Chain A
Amino acid sequence: MKSRFENDMGYSEVTPKSVWLNRRDLLKSAGGATIAASIAGLANGATFEASKSIYSTDEELNDFEDITSYNNFYEFGTGKGDPARYAGELTTEPWSVVIDGMVENPGTYSYEDILSGAALEERIYRLRCVEAWSMVIPWIGFELGHLLKRAVPEPSAKFVAFETLVRPEEMRGQRSRFLLEWPYREGLRLDEAMNPLTILAVGLYGEELPNQNGAPIRLVVPWKYGFKSIKSIVRITLTDFQPPTTWNMQAPGEYGFYSNVNPLVDHPRWSQATERRVGSGLFARRMETQMFNGYEEYVAGLYEGMDLSTNY
């Protein structure tokens, strides 16, 4: 299969790792907006000039440290720092994903097999958490549609269900069944899954995904709240019914199947109108949350005629 873009140059060849590892500190010591802009330009422009996806935002990136130290991944604990602390216990090699259900080519796809022939792109996406904070993250990944097409969904398939690995020996949060029901489950409508914005990410800042970010392969659906972007996927099942999803099962009144980012539909307990951009410091202003997290032009059509306040 022909890749749309092939880039054999890593970020590390362009921007010294020490620079992007903690850009926030660097900016602080440099202390100026002009310098901030030029470094951001170096990090994005020089490396991915040819590969920039039209879907990438040019907003300032969160630095690697923020993205890898502030995570919700309850398989490793509920604290934001728990995943960074404990996800190292997870073995991600070998890894394979079972694709089953209503597909013509069901089977166990190895990680290497999944990556071979996948057109890797850098997608700089906003991530909006249901807890009203957000980040800007340079994912490396490929369109989920590419993998689904390989599996060939049957015409009657309507939904895609995803499951995270269950391995309590290595995922200490799973030793408690009290918190959430494992495996963590997520789902999309097939047309949402086939939308070009929906990617399977395998990398971050040009490198392999750190475990706390959902290694080795995770979903990224940028117009939905972060919990929809399921991590460390081991199963993808095509169905003709709306699959059960973890947070919806935990609190159906608070987390819907769709969970599209929507500033007009509040969480029952808190507002979704604004958000705090992680990494912007103690005195940063809250930002207005955008409809569909700013991806309205690409995805609004998926929900035409639907009442988004009942289909939250």
Chain B
Amino acid sequence: MSVPQKINGVLRKIPSWPIYILGPIPGIWVFWLALQDRLGADPLQALEHSLGERGLQLLVLTLLVTPVRRLTGVSFLKFRRAIGLVAFFYVVAHLLTWIVLDRQLDLADIWREIVKRPYITIGMAGFLAMVPLAVTSNNLSVRKMGAAAWTRLHRLAYVAAVAGAAHYLLLVKSWPTEPIVYALVVVALLMIRAWWAAQRRIARRARRAA
């Protein structure tokens, strides 16, 4: 048995449900710290950024599953749904922090900001792209939609990741390292897929020609 197969054997024995319990803990912890005023001078911003960044990290993690499997043979596929749903939890928490604590439920102001500020428009688009993904992240949906349609729908994850990275890049001054790194990682993960898709097309055409 090869090493990847051995690893997969171990991974198969690990359940994915603890991710749903452990995943949100850092977010709940940071919220607790904010309530205790232990997040420095600007706890609101620290909370907002921490939740948003965690959401983006987890989203990137879900996009890593396929390339890792194709390049190494190690499959984390059984954990992807849980990671994606926890990512959604963080994005929702980030959005709620902005709506409730930052903008204090001033709905007119919130709408103005969404329409007027590209970084918020893009962030909202990313959130909206994740909603159908979260709703259909269950076995029943896969069965009802059929695997092909479900897979197509879940390409919205690419939209969400690009939006998340752009949202971050658009709210900073100058070019600090972190948002650039996220953007590059997201671009790399999409490019590798585009490359594979192109390969598949070429192979299909060759088969048809033969």
Q: Are A271 and B41 interface neighbours, CB within 8 A?
A: no
Please tell me if the beta carbons of A131 and B173 are within 8 angstroms of each other in the complex: yes
- Closest B-chain residue to A277, C-beta based? B42
Residues of B within 8 A of A270 (CB): 117, 119, 171
The digit string for B95-129, where 1 denotes a CB below 8 A from any CB of A, is 00000011110000000010011110000000000
Nearest A residue to B113 via CB reads: A271
Q: A65 to B176, Cβ gap below 8 A? A: no
Instruction: Assess whether A28 is interfacial by the CB under 8 Å rule.
Output: yes
Task: Name which of A10-18, A47-55, A282-290 contacts chain B.
Answer: A282-290
* Chain B residues in 8 Å Cβ range of A279: 41-42
Please tell me if A278 contacts chain B, counting CB pairs below 8 Å: yes
In the complex, what residue of chain A is closest to B116 when comparing beta carbons? A271
The contact string, 1 if C-beta is below 8 Å from chain B, for chain A 125-152, is: 0000011010000000000000000000
Q: Could you give, for residues 229-259 of chain A, a 1 whenever the CB lies within 8 Å of some chain B CB and a 0 otherwise?
A: 0000000000000000001001100100000
- In angstroms, how far is the closest chain A Cβ from the Cβ of B116? 8
Give Cα A67 to B42, complex, Å.
11
Which A263-300 residues sit within 8 Å CB-CB of chain B?
Answer: 269-271, 276, 278-279, 281-286
Flag if A271 contacts B117 (CB, 8 Å). Answer: yes
B35 within 8 A of A: yes
Please tell me which stretch of B43-51, B65-73, B74-82, B197-205 contacts chain A, meaning at least 4 of its Cβ atoms lie within 8 angstroms of it. Answer: B43-51
The answer to whether B42 and A74 touch across the interface, beta carbons within 8 angstroms, is no
A24: Cβ under 8 A from any B Cβ: yes
Contacting residues of chain B (11-45) with chain A, CB-CB under 8 angstroms: 34-35, 37, 40-45
- Please, how many angstroms separate the alpha-carbon atoms of A133 and B46 in the complex? 13
Partner of B175, one of A178, A281, A282, A283: A178
Chain B residue total in the interface (Cβ 8 A):
27
* Whole-angstrom distance between the Cβ of B96 and the nearest chain A Cβ: 13
Known A271-B113, A281-B37: A70·B42 in contact at CB below 8 Å: yes
Task: Tell me if B64 is interfacial: C-beta within 8 Å of chain A.
Answer: no
CB distance from A83 to the nearest CB of B (A): 12
Judge if B170 is at the interface, Cβ distance under 8 Å.
Answer: yes
Chain B residues lying within 8 Å of A66, measured Cβ to Cβ, are 41
Given the known A-B contacts A269-B119, A271-B113, are A282 and B41 also in contact in the complex, defined by CB atoms under 8 Å? no
Q: Which residues of B contact A284 (CB under 8 A)?
A: 44
Q: Which of chain A's residues have a CB closer than 8 A to the CB of B172?
A: 78
Contact A286 B104 (CB under 8 A): yes
Contacts of B139 in A (CB 8 A): none
**Closest-CB distance, A44 to chain B (whole angstroms):** 20
A interface size (C-beta, 8 A): 34
Q: Is there contact, CB below 8 Å, between B35 and A282?
A: yes
B106 (CB) vs chain A CBs: closest residue: A286
Report if A74-B174 is in contact (Cβ < 8 Å); known contacts: A271-B113, A271-B117, A285-B104.
yes
Q: B116: which A residues are within 8 A, CB to CB?
A: 271
A113 CA to B40 CA, complexed, in Å: 37
Tell me if B35 and A180 are in contact (CB < 8 A). no
The interface residues of chain B lying within 8 Å CB-to-CB of A278 are 41-42
Report Cα–Cα, A66/B116, bound state, in Å: 32
CB-CB < 8 A to A65: which residues of B?
Answer: 41
Q: A269-B119, A270-B117, A282-B47 are in contact. Are A69 and B41 (CB under 8 A)?
A: yes
User: Is A179 in contact with chain B by the CB < 8 A criterion?
Assistant: yes
- Shortest distance between the CB of A284 and any CB in chain B (Å): 8
A131: chain B residues within 8 A (beta carbon)? 173
A307 to chain B, nearest CB (A): 22
Asked whether A70 lies within 8 Å of B40 as measured between CB atoms, the reply is yes
A67 to B35, CA, bound (A): 20
Instruction: Say whether B174 contacts A133, CB under 8 Å.
Output: no
Question: What's the Cα separation between A62 and B172 when bound, in Å?
Answer: 24
- The residue in chain A whose Cβ has the minimal distance to the Cβ of B39 is A282
| CB <8 Å contact, B118 and A269 | yes
In the bound complex, CA of A269 to CA of B122 (Å): 12
CA distance A67 to B41 in the complex (A): 8
A281 and B37 CA atoms in complex are apart in Å by: 7
Chain B residue with Cβ nearest A283: B101
A-B interface, 7 closest residue pairs, ranked by CB to CB distance from nearest: A70-B41, A66-B41, A78-B176, A278-B41, A282-B43, A278-B42, A282-B34
Residue ranges of B at the interface with A (Cβ–Cβ < 8 Å): 34-35, 37, 40-45, 47, 101-104, 113, 116-119, 170-177
Q: What are 16 A-to-B residue pairs whose CB atoms are below 8 Å?
A: A28-B37, A65-B41, A66-B41, A70-B42, A74-B174, A81-B40, A131-B173, A133-B45, A179-B175, A278-B42, A279-B42, A281-B37, A281-B43, A282-B47, A285-B104, A286-B103
